[in-house]
Chains A and B, each alone.
Chain A
């Protein structure tokens, strides 16, 4: 038996507070942008506000406008304490506000009007962007978790473990063919896969808990991600 370190934050509140109190708010903002920029761009591109500009410019403007406010993340934390709203939903709501604000500002400034579809969003159109956003978030979360897992494997000199994990789980190579190719036994391969799967779950947990997921309900959150990725 060996002791290990505590890898993950206890609650989203503590991680945010700690990050802000430690003067790492900037670092935290960069992390949020890295994870959510693409999903928000995808969402924006599917909305009737899309004529406001290029998705990357709009989302960059959104981050610039919100993350520059020192209380913005604290507001989310306060809200999360009340209704457990996940960070991604908070971002989406904030982005919608931002898009409305931006739209009104441009109207006031008599900036070039958008298309006729600009203000007429049907129900189906409202749903589609959110689904796209959720899918993009799921992809981003998996990608981020995988990145962290890879970093952890490299730090632990377990690149071979990672390769076995990827080839077996992602590439669907059975242990019977994978093991001899790598000079390992099937049992060893199975153990390596388990090790990396645990790391991957820990990485996912870290992201999802920070995002506002209930630490006692990680499995449901993972299932939600799977659903959002579709069949």
Chain B
């Protein structure tokens, strides 16, 4: 070296100053009326500052500056293009251009532009921090897709959509979503400003491999279009809903992998099935289908653009049929019933009477033709018929649905009619939604039950209905617990919230007992057996104070304790509880009582058989036949019941 840092000559000092003159501005400096307060982001060629505007108005802005003092023509053109793109876009979900200019010596002018400062965080961080429920996560994706759709409408393809480029603020009830960083956007119309050949050049890597479509990862720039953004949005949905990026390593080490390897993984990524990848069966069905369509390997199989993707997410949110459903899934028929668009043939036997009686078709087209009053009368008649049809499918002791498979189409119809006639806010509508959700819940259709519970809960919160909030949290907690261990933490939190409210009341409510027992199940899933037992005991005590002698709630609580003790291998104690649960039970005409009678009786016979086996003694064939009969009956109602594995080895 010709100089040490301590003693540069005047000539050397001038060189250093010249280098500084060509370096980009930093914190403490001002660009026009904008004083750079804090660097909030930095990429390879540009930096984003939080800046304070002093005149003509005082406000904070985000100011993006090209920090590369000797940018290549490509880099400079991309920066100019981004500025042009942001200037063109006008959408609440995309930050707009406030101001732009250049600083520094003319021979090395540094371009910059200012945008409104978005006060938010990346979509994945926001979801994690606010513990967003699934519907809020889907809403974030939908709103991001709407913003991207606005860009697509102007012939702009983002090309680098990922959670970091989707900024979210606000609460879960009303998330504010902004799509940012159009730095590598592609302009489909070469005639518009910035739409030069650079945007479509072959061989350039633009975007983040983990969120690239196959055509983008294959560097096939000519095929990259709106559907490529749809693909990336589908992967964003995978991250937000399942916490994974299909076909990629964990987000922590992804940047450590060689670029070629990351691109190869992206190019070879199979169409994801999110429920399997995330091991979350509640994502089966509509969410699986929507993501699979967004992330189809073939461009033509995807949604054509982000608007179409957002539309389908909106349909899902509004409980309308989605277009992503496979043609052969029976889904279309299911929804045809729900929306009364056509008569249904070949549905469940229980529905045949209704469909026969109501042979007239209530299509949208015919509905338009008839008067509203006549239509409402017809819907009311339909509703009443559905109520009548539902009666034999409910239990006598507490009016709950006992044959959910048959009841669900009726419940969907009732819910739909209530929506049509009374609107979403009506008590009847919400009540029918709750009954429907509980039926979904009981037949493991959690992805349909959970959003209904959450929607009802959000309304109860908005209207400060504390009792309803507690009850809906109890329902939701049970649903989350049944989804699986991945949701146990959420289940615990909502159940604890429900119990916290109920503990403020002078006397327990029937639902309090259920929540205590649910809380016990959650403790069991977390391996806290002492806690589980304590909650079950509290649940039994609760039912004894809220339900009369012989009531099914009291019996069920005792039966759950019997199950717990059986699982611990304490057969003697389990028999005692099952015995108390069965004592004096009346099964005649009560499907609920009959079902539990069979289950508890079956468990008692199974324990006898197990003890005989352990003692090496023969087991009474008559009792074995009895168990066999009970098992067969149970299998018809619940083919995947875990007890069957023990009873029918």
Contact = CB atoms under 8 A, between A and B. Distances in A.
A131 interface: no
Nearest to A204: B20
Interface stretch (A1-9, A44-52, A93-101, A105-113): A1-9
Contacts of B11: 229
B22 A215 contact: no
Nearest to B3: A170
A137 to B, nearest CB: 12
Contacts of B27: 4, 6-8, 202
Given A8-B27, A139-B10, A209-B28, A146 B16 contact: yes
Contacts of A222: 17, 20-21
B8 A201 contact: no
A202 B35 contact: no
A167 interface: yes
A225 B15 CA distance: 11
B28 A226 contact: no
A36 B147 CA distance: 56
Contact of A226 (B17, B38, B43, B48): B17
Nearest to B69: A194
Interface in B27-47: 27-33, 35, 37-43
A181 to B, nearest CB: 12
A200 interface: yes
A201 B5 CA distance: 15
Given A142-B17, A169-B16, A147 B1 contact: no
Given A147-B6, A166-B3, A229-B14, A200 B103 contact: no
Contact of B30 (A165, A215, A226): A215
Interface string B411-445: 00000000000000000000000000000000000
Contacts of A194: 23, 67-70
A24 interface: no
B30 A169 contact: no
Contacts of A206: 28
B276 interface: no
A87 interface: no
Nearest to A162: B5
A58 interface: no
A171 interface: yes
Given A2-B42, A8-B28, A215-B28, A138 B20 contact: no
Contacts of B43: 1
Contacts of A170: 1-3, 8, 12, 15-16
A194 B25 CA distance: 12
Interface in A180-221: 190, 193-194, 197-198, 200-202, 204-206, 209, 214-216, 218-219
Contact of B28 (A7, A147, A149, A163): A7
Contacts of B40: 1, 3
Contacts of A214: 30
A151 to B, nearest CB: 10
B26 interface: yes
Nearest to B6: A143
Given A1-B48, A200-B20, A6 B10 contact: no
A10 B42 contact: no
B18 interface: yes
A70 interface: no
B106 to A, nearest CB: 11
A202 B48 contact: no
A135 interface: yes
A145 B17 CA distance: 10
Nearest to B25: A218
B24 interface: yes
Contact of B3 (A1, A145, A171, A226): A171
Nearest to B41: A1
15 contacts: A7-B28, A138-B13, A139-B13, A142-B17, A166-B5, A194-B68, A197-B22, A198-B23, A198-B26, A200-B19, A201-B26, A222-B17, A222-B20, A222-B21, A223-B21
Closest 7 CB pairs of A and B: A8-B28, A1-B41, A216-B30, A201-B23, A215-B30, A201-B20, A197-B23
Given A170-B3, A229-B17, 13 more contacts: A6-B28, A6-B38, A9-B28, A142-B8, A166-B3, A194-B23, A197-B22, A201-B21, A201-B23, A202-B28, A216-B35, A218-B25, A226-B14
Interface of B: 1-3, 5-8, 10-33, 35, 37-43, 48, 67-70, 103-105, 164
